[in-house]
């Protein structure tokens, strides 16, 4: 295994995050704070507790997931799309690096950045609302699993995209709506029957539900199902990445 | 000694149906400077991209120092350095970071002293902390070379290395290529500047429409395919070439003061002696006489034209 190459790519990706610290870290922290001001304080003060949890505290896991999903996708998709766009990908393709090493480095870098971001949002949230984490191990497990899965998903989008527009298309048109409709700001039990059933087809519901359970021990769907769905999505992403590399799809053709 | 790079029966047809390479066979000797010439779209870059692992080939095999570029891609690729035609650098990285990144990518342990030497050799040391975006075109080109040399390759591909580069930098690059060759690095360069191939290459390959149409030792090629010109300055100008000289390929300059005879220097009877005798017999006297060899450029143009 070419560990030096993995480290070189990973370090380069992390350096990019620190170079664009305003965009990578500060802006999500500001937008999260705004969510708390608007949803937590202004609207939340008029909403009663959900499942015995104050509304401000209830939305914290959903908010972290919202950032985790969007940032994992954008970090990883941009990281692989940008060298493709400027042409510097030639170096990666001509280096003695296996596909697995490329994925570990890029997905590792993207996931690390979004996990750090998730933890920063968690710390920011703790300034606004009292937080409890009942299952810290599972909290970290969901955090890491989700970050890795969606970084893989972002990597696939980055390879598939032929333009900046396509790069934005999936996150904007699919991921953001799914996240907002996935129970970030409400419990799906609050929805009328038919919509509750429809919502169960949204994979993000399982991520948020499982993650919220790790905080408060309460969930919309069983935690085992949440974990299972996350792993299924992870395996689907791995299968697609394996296919991309086997065929050289949009990389070596 | 077996060749360092062996390309055998390599073809490439893109998804669009365009066939860029047809059954290419080519062996590159260890330590030589090989110039690959060809018009635009001839398949030079596709061939290099296949050897370097950037583009998948449709068929054929390629080995680098005996290592198959697919089965043993790590060993094969770690021997190769590539300087592509386009200036494609991550614009926001510093010179130092991007060169060290390249070294790491090729699995080499960090070696700041070596990277410093590469940057100094390429006159980039005082720019080591500058971002790539702030460099001039010539410096970016040198940075691309520094990246390719950072992992100490044994085979270096230079794809149009001096395109858009000023004369001074071009001379510097030629000197650098010769130094690398002295260190035992095999160099394969593609170029539009035939003078570059003429000045540096040991062997020349000509590719046209995806096919290698000729591979030859440069000196032999120029000897074999070169044509010679005999230029005679006449004592008194002629208005036209007399009909008695129609069997010679003669050209008269517009002012009538210079007569040029073009001939094949490989021919059994190039006709120089008989021409001079006939000129004397015809009363045409000359004050000076000069012979010129055709350049590689003329050879190349003739070859490609013949193919078309």
Q: Is the pLDDT of residue B224 over 70?
A: no
Q: In this structure, are B12 and B149 located in the same domain?
A: yes
Q: B168, B192, B222 — which closes off a domain?
A: B222
Which of B160, B187, B222 marks a domain boundary?
A: B222
SS (H, E, C) chain B: CCCCEEEEEEEEECCCCCEEEEEEEEEECCCCEEEEECCCCCCHHHHHHHHHCCCCCCEEEEEECCEECCCCHHHHHHCEEEECCCCCCCCCCEHHHHHHHHHHHCCCCCCHHHHHHHHHHCCCHHHCCCEHHHCCHHHHHHHHHHHHHCCCCCEEEEECCCCCCCHHHHHHHHHHHHHHHHCCCEEEEEECCHHHHHHHCCEEEEEECCEEEEEEEHHHHHHHHCEEEEEEEECCCCCCCCHHHCCCCEEECCCCCEEEEEEECCCCCCCHHHHHHHHHHCCCCEEEEEEEECCHHHHHHHHHHHHC
Instruction: Check which CATH number belongs to the domain holding B22 and give it.
Output: 3.40.50.300
In this structure, the answer to whether residues B93 and B144 fall within a common structural domain is yes
Tens digit of each residue's pLDDT (9 = 90 or more) over B89-107: 877 889 999 999 999 999 9
Res B119 pLDDT > 90: yes
* Residue B306 maps to a domain: no
Which of B56, B94, B102, B104 to mutate: most A Cβ within 10 Å?
B104
pLDDT (0 to 100) of residue A96: 94
Nearest by CB to residue B54, choosing from A7, A15, A252, is A252
Give me the pLDDT at residue B1, please: 65
* Interface ipTM: 0.84
User: Which of the listed residues B188, B222, B256 is the one where a domain comes to its end?
Assistant: B222
Looking up residue B247, the CATH number of its domain turns out to be 3.30.70.100
B103 and B13 within one domain:
yes
Q: Which domain holds residue B269?
A: 227-293
pTM as predicted? 0.82
Judgement on whether residues B211 and B178 belong to the same structural domain of the protein:
yes
Both B256 and B116 in a single domain?
no
pLDDT at position A150 is: 92
Would B300 be classed as within a structural domain? no
Kindly report the nearest CA distance between residue B72 and chain A, in angstroms: 10
Q: State how far residue B123 is from chain A, nearest Cα, in angstroms.
A: 22
In a domain, B142, yes or no: yes
Q: Evaluate if residue B225 carries a pLDDT over 70.
A: no
Are residues B128 and B273 both part of a single domain? no
Is B303 part of any domain? no
Mean model confidence pLDDT for chain A = 86
Mean pLDDT of all residues in chain B?
Answer: 87
**A95 and chain B in contact, CB less than 8 A:** yes
Q: Is residue B241 part of a domain?
A: yes
Q: Is the Cβ pair B90, A83 closer than 8 Å? A: yes
Among A2, A91, A252, select the one facing B102 at the smallest CB separation.
A91
A246 touches chain B (CB under 8 A): no
């Amino acid at each position: 295994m070419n560990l030096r190459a993995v480290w070189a790519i990973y370090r380069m990706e992390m350096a990019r995050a620190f170079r664009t610290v305003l965009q990578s870290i500060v802006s999500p922290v500001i937008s999260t704070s705004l969510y708390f001001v608007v949803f937590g304080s202004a609207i939340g003060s008029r909403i009663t507790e959900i499942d015995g949890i104050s509304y401000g505290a209830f939305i914290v896991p959903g908010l972290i997931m919202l950032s985790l999903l969007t940032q994992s996708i954008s970090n990883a998709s941009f990281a692989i799309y940008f060298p493709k766009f400027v042409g510097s990908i030639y170096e990666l393709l001509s280096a003695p690096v296996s596909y697995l090493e490329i994925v570990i480095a890029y997905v590792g870098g993207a996931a690390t950045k979004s996990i750090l971001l998730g933890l920063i949002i968690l710390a920011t949230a703790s300034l606004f609302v009292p937080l409890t984490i009942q299952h810290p191990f599972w909290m970290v497990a969901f955090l890491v699993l989700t970050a890795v899965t969606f970084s893989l998903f972002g990597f696939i989008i980055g390879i598939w995209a032929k333009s900046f527009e396509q790069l934005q298309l999936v996150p904007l048109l699919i991921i953001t709506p799914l996240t907002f409709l996935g129970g970030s700001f409400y419990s799906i039990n609050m929805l009328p029957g038919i919509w509750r059933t429809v919502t169960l087809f949204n994979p993000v519901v399982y991520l948020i539900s499982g993650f919220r359970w790790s905080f408060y021990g309460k969930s919309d769907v069983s935690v085992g199902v949440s974990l299972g769905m996350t792993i299924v999505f992870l395996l689907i992403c791995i299968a697609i990445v394996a296919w991309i590399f086997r065929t050289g799809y949009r990389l070596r053709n | 000694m077996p060749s360092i790079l062996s390309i055998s029966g390599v073809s490439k047809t893109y998804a669009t149906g365009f066939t860029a390479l047809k059954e290419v066979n080519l062996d590159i000797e260890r330590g030589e400077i090989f110039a690959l010439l060809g018009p635009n779209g001839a398949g030079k870059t596709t061939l290099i991209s296949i050897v370097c692992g950037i583009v998948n080939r449709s068929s054929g095999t390629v080995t680098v120092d005996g290592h198959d570029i697919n089965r043993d891609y790590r060993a094969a690729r770690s021997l190769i350095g590539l300087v592509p035609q386009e200036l494609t650098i991550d614009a926001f990285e510093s010179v130092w970071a991007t060169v060290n990144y390249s070294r790491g990518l090729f699995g080499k342990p960090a070696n700041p002293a070596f990277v410093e030497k590469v940057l100094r050799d390429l006159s980039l040391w005082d720019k080591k902390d500058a971002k790539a975006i702030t460099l001039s075109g010539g410096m970016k080109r040198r940075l691309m070379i520094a990246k390719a040399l950072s992992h100490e390759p044994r085979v270096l591909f230079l794809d149009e290395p001096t395109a858009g580069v000023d004369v001074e930098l071009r001379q510097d690059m030629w000197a650098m290529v010769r130094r690398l060759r002295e260190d035992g690095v095999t160099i394969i360069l593609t170029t539009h500047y035939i003078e570059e191939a003429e000045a540096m290459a040991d062997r020349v390959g000509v590719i046209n429409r995806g096919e290698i149409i000729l591979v030859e030792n440069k000196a032999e090629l120029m000897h074999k395919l070169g044509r010679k010109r005999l230029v005679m300055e006449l004592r008194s100008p002629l208005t036209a070439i007399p009909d008695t000289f129609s069997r010679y390929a003669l050209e008269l300059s517009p002012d009538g003061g210079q007569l040029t005879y073009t001939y094949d220097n490989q021919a059994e009877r190039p006709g120089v002696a008989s021409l001079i005798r006939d000129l004397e017999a015809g009363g045409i006297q000359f004050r000076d006489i000069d012979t010129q060899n055709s350049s590689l450029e003329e050879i190349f143009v003739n070859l490609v034209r013949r193919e078309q």
